[in-house]
């Protein structure tokens, strides 16, 4: 028996920030800049749907419920980039002074640690940027501790993440593991290895995320 947790707080874009960004387009073009600076867009979370409540409190409740049900294995889909407290994802939901309900990666990290200490078998998956492309068209690359953040391309198909969740159910062999994942383009898509083969090979390396890393606030 297993449980897959893939909940995440979802921000809403501020319509006012969109209008302001659009008004700047002519000036940006004249200045030979990007038409829209996406950093000017403001995102906010709905009341009660902040990262602390969804990605930490909510996930803790799901983990506790898994234990109550007698679930043996929990698969948690989190996010890559958690070791960088200045990651732009953490700024979503905050104002220019840094106040507000943000720090989504920090709250995800706290939930991961809670799962690690729960006594349950766990598989924690940190995908790169999620894209809506066809699955099993790119070679899956796994590593730990944000090493893959150094890659120029750090995306992965949502379908491939789902396949890794399924693979964790079949090849984990009772081992707990936490890892990052992205997709890499290959010359021949017919030679792409299955998620099961990639995960099984990675499990043999003995690598897993080091939860001693990161700011003390994690």
Angle (CA) 20-24-30 rounded to 5° is: 180
Cβ proximity of 163 and 139 under 8 Å: no
User: What is the Cα–Cα distance from 169 to 130, expressed in whole angstroms?
Assistant: 21
User: What is the Cα–Cα distance from 118 to 122, expressed in whole angstroms?
Assistant: 9
Q: Which of 75, 158, 59 is nearest to 114 (CA)?
A: 59
Six token digits for residue 28: 């940006």
Annotated catalytic residues are 79
183, containing H or E segment:
strand 177-184
User: What is the Cα–Cα distance from 216 to 143, expressed in whole angstroms?
Assistant: 23
Q: Which residues does 51 contact at the CB level (< 8 Å), separation at least 6? A: 9, 45, 93, 101, 102, 103, 104, 106, 107, 108
Tell me the residue length of the chain: 218
């Amino acid at each position: 028996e297993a449980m897959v947790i893939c909940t995440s707080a979802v921000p809403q874009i501020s319509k006012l920030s969109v209008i302001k960004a659009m008004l700047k387009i002519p000036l940006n073009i004249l200045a030979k800049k990007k038409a829209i600076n996406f950093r000017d867009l403001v995102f906010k979370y709905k009341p009660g749907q902040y990262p602390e409540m969804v990605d930490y409190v909510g996930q803790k409740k799901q983990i506790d419920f898994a234990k109550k049900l007698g679930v043996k294995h929990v698969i948690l889909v989190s996010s890559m980039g958690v070791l960088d407290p200045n990651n732009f994802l953490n700024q979503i939901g905050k104002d220019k002074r840094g106040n507000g309900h943000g720090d989504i990666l920090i709250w995800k990290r706290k939930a991961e640690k809670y799962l690690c200490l729960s006594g349950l078998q766990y598989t924690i998956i940190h995908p790169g940027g999620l894209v809506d492309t066809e699955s099993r068209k790119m070679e899956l690359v796994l590593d730990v501790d944000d090493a893959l953040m150094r890659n120029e391309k750090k995306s992965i198909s949502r379908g491939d993440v789902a396949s890794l969740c399924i693979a964790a159910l079949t090849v984990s062999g009772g081992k707990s593991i936490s890892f990052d994942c992205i997709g890499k383009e290959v010359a021949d898509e017919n030679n792409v290895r299955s998620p099961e083969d990639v995960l099984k090979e990675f499990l043999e390396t003995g690598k897993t995320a080091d939860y001693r890393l990161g700011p003390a606030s994690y």
